[in-house]
Structure 1
Amino acid sequence: MPHIRGDASVTLKSLSKIKHVRAFTVRGGGADYHDQGEGHWIDNHIATPMSRYPEYRQSRQSFGINVLGTLVVEIEAEDGTIGFAVTTGGEPACYIVEKHLARFLEGRSPLEYEKIWDQMYFSTQYYGRKGLVINAISGVDLALWDLLGKLRQEPVYHMLGGAVRDELQFYATGARPDIAKELGFIGGKMALHHGPAEGVEGLKKNIAELAEMRERVGPDFWLMWDCWMALDVDYATRLAIAAHEYGLKWIEEAISPDDYWGYAELRRNVPRGMLVTTGEHEATRWGFRMLLDMECCDIIQPDVGWCGGITELLKISALADAKGKMVVPHGSSVYSYHFVITRHNSPFAEFLMMHPGPTEVVPMFAPQLLGEPVPVNGRLKASALDAPGFGVTFNPDVATHRPYTH
């Protein structure tokens, strides 16, 4: 990939226009949906919508969670400055970026991110609206914010209004909340291992795992469950009620993201004080408006690489703020940190423990990103985000492939 540079002498009046948009694929590494190796905790008998089929129960890779791979979007300005971002989407998303979306950026000022987003979304609405197309739009939008920050020599969070606190605090998602506690995190979220197809015995195993972890971490440490769309309302209700005595803080993404009515029912069903959270696989202000208007959850969890990018996340967050709901984005490293540090209704952040164990804190998008900050004792100073743009560079040792051009 070309060298990334910025020029501190650039003024807004003379801000360089966009010259090229390019899209690449990467295999291996990245965060949880990218392409992890065998034996990783994040691929080990996790309850999924495919768990009803025994042959796809043990591994998410068996049914194809890693088939798309990483999407890298690169936007080059006329002065040679390059902004980039990584998300999921792989080769199909590359096609969308190169053959469709690039026309709305090249020759334009990066300051026009609102108009660019609007044109990308409505030009693709007839085949988009969610999923892969919004992943592609999100990647473009994040790369655009990265470019704008580098041209202005400002970190993204400064352009979003500045920090509202001095540091971020994190909970950790991984298989070992007890180790997360030792590492200074405020809580630990575990993957649910057994779904409805495994019956009452599976439910008992889930509760036994929670009870054991509560014994390890003590009474005050947060414990949460990520159910990854695997359950139905009845099973999720029984699970939540059984988990209540062990102080489960929240039950996350328990059912299909399209079942707004089911989420509203589940929120009515869970024990008083337990939170219902979802939104990792929701997209755009319209999808989150459904979750909020129908009182489906207590916390929304958009992924900035899938919901529409920073430009759309700002609108989603405003909707949640008006409803008095928290926004705690799905773990996406610097792409969410720059947002969370600027919002009062985002009081903490998620850190995905991407160490296979997971027993160590390692960069979430390794080996793809260089300069990626990680929490120390469960905290990250705002000053760690002070480099221009999102503050990271793409690792030149990682092989990229550009399957399409325009």
Structure 2
Amino acid sequence: MQENIKISDIRAFVVETVGVGGDYGSRPGGHWIVDAPQCNPLSIYENHAELRGGDASSAVGSILVEIESSTGRVGYATGVGGAPACCVIEKHLKRFLIGKEISDTEFIWDIMFRASLSYGRGGIALLAISAVDLAVWDLIGRLSGQPVCRIAGSGDNRSELPVYCTGPKPQIYKELGFWGAKIGLPYGPGAGAAGFQKNIYRISECREMLGSEYPFMVDCYMGLDCEYASKLAEAVLPYDLYWIEEALPPDDIENLKLLKKRHPTISWTAGEHEYSRFGFIKLIRSGAVDILQPDLMWCGGMTEALRIAKLAKKENVPVVPHAGGIYSYHFAAACREISMVEYCIPSLNGDEIEPVFGTMFDGEPLPVDGKIAISDRPGWGLELRPDQFRMDRPYALD
């Protein structure tokens, strides 16, 4: 890649078409992600026991970020954060990035993080930073003619990755050849004893369908308290879960430690809703988490995910990225210690293979026989299809 290529412009758009882009919660009514019973952070309350309203991503929506270089080339990426993230990008972060050398990814990331410290460190600010960072990597790949995984890794990158599938129909995922299957826990503490029994029945039913050897996981989506999670862990021991995911809210590290102490044979995972390497350092040092799950559209993008993976490798803590589509695939391809990736099935009933980001891109790879193939196309290997969705740039300069 030619040296001294600078950032000349940054544009941030809100994606207005439901089911397109990085927001997992942007789905039409009747979709399994939004309408199936799903434990969530509000599930400790009785009147929210069957609502996925705890998912803040559906309240802010998908975004698209474009970064233009001084040579006129453009890189892009989707993410989450809606109009608030677009405001952070165009009204604040942009001024610090124009004129910066595009190849200096860590410096660009640190500038954004430090500039937003007074209101950031997580949340919307990190969602914005993540999307900008992913677009930077796409532009670097396009300028160099190389896929992101090859630029980020040692050069000896995997071209194919094992995939597990998340959705409501694990038996179908086994038949399709996925490495393993994950379901959402239907109910939280607010559903009482009846909800608890329904949870155990659902898990036992799935295990019976899948057989005793097939890897099977459960996602609690931050919806439990310590005592409920402990009771659940004891009750599901006969069903040999591969892991229990996000049992508690992200900041409740002390109770995560207590859960691990009480149930040392259970694999507890977390990190989907953690931000930056500084947050992951706390998880690693706690000793409470067996597998880390950074989401590249939330944790800070590719630059920060690589730093997180380096820290985790040093402490011998496995990393399996949360969802993330093409971004997680390239991340895993660049880091050979990552054993597999996740495909959160986006089809209406969770029974058909479709692109993670909907109609936004051409070139998005789909799992075949439980594996994802990584192409040699430059950047993330995707081409934007702007005629297939609606978007608006709310903070364009006059």
Pairwise TM-score range, normalised by the shorter structure = over 0.9
Cα separation, partners in 2 of 1:251 and 1:116, compared to 1, 3 Å: same
Counterpart of 1:92 in structure 2 is 84
SS of 1:157 mapped into structure 2: helix
SS of 1:326 mapped into structure 2: coil
- Deviation for aligned residue 1:230: 0.3
Contact 1:31/1:354, CA 8 A, preserved across alignment? no
Contact 2:150/2:157, CA 8 A, preserved across alignment? no
- Which string of whole-angstrom CA distances, capped at 9 and with x for unpartnered residues, describes residues 100-143 of structure 1? 11122212220122111111101110110011100000100000
Residue type of the alignment partner of 1:301: Q
Counterpart of 1:6 in structure 2 is none
- What value does the CA root-mean-square deviation take over the aligned residues? 1.5
Cα separation, partners in 2 of 1:39 and 1:279, compared to 1, 3 Å: same
Distance (whole Å) between structure 1 residues aligned to residue 54 and residue 147 of structure 2: 39
Aligned pair partner of 1:36 in 12, 23, 27: 27
> Is 1:402 aligned to residue 393 of structure 2?
yes
Please, what TM-score do these two structures have when normalized by structure 1?
0.93
- Kindly report structure 1 stretches of 4+ aligned residues shifted beyond 6 Å: none
Number of residue-to-residue matches in the alignment: 392
Aligned pair partner of 1:119 in 91, 111, 123: 111
SS of 1:51 mapped into structure 2: coil
Aligned pair partner of 2:347 in 325, 334, 355: 355
Q: Mapping of 1:176-191 within 5 angstroms?
A: 176-191=169-184
Residue type of the alignment partner of 2:295: D
Aligned pair partner of 1:270 in 242, 263, 270: 263
Cα separation, partners in 2 of 1:119 and 1:268, compared to 1, 3 Å: same
Aligned pair partner of 1:240 in 233, 258, 268: 233
Contact 2:6/2:102, CA 8 A, preserved across alignment? yes
Counterpart of 1:386 in structure 2 is 376
Contact 2:64/2:78, CA 8 A, preserved across alignment? yes
**Runs of at least 5 residues in structure 1 that lack an aligned partner in the other structure:** 1-10
Cα separation, partners in 2 of 1:297 and 1:201, compared to 1, 3 Å: same
Counterpart of 2:212 in structure 1 is 219
Please, what TM-score do these two structures have when normalized by structure 2?
0.95
> Is 1:255 aligned to residue 248 of structure 2?
yes
Aligned pair partner of 1:171 in 156, 161, 164: 164
Distance (whole Å) between structure 2 residues aligned to residue 375 and residue 297 of structure 1: 28
Cα separation, partners in 2 of 1:287 and 1:63, compared to 1, 3 Å: closer
Counterpart of 1:59 in structure 2 is 51
SS of 1:126 mapped into structure 2: coil
Aligned pair partner of 1:133 in 121, 125, 130: 125
Distance (whole Å) between structure 2 residues aligned to residue 297 and residue 89 of structure 1: 27
Distance (whole Å) between structure 1 residues aligned to residue 54 and residue 109 of structure 2: 35
> Is 1:149 aligned to residue 141 of structure 2?
yes
> Is 1:24 aligned to residue 13 of structure 2?
yes
**Runs of at least 5 residues in structure 2 that lack an aligned partner in the other structure:** none
Cα separation, partners in 2 of 1:300 and 1:77, compared to 1, 3 Å: same
- Which string of whole-angstrom CA distances, capped at 9 and with x for unpartnered residues, describes residues 214-259 of structure 1? 1111111111110000001111111111111011111000001001
Residue type of the alignment partner of 2:119: Y
Cα separation, partners in 2 of 1:271 and 1:285, compared to 1, 3 Å: closer
Counterpart of 1:200 in structure 2 is 193
Cα separation, partners in 2 of 1:31 and 1:82, compared to 1, 3 Å: closer
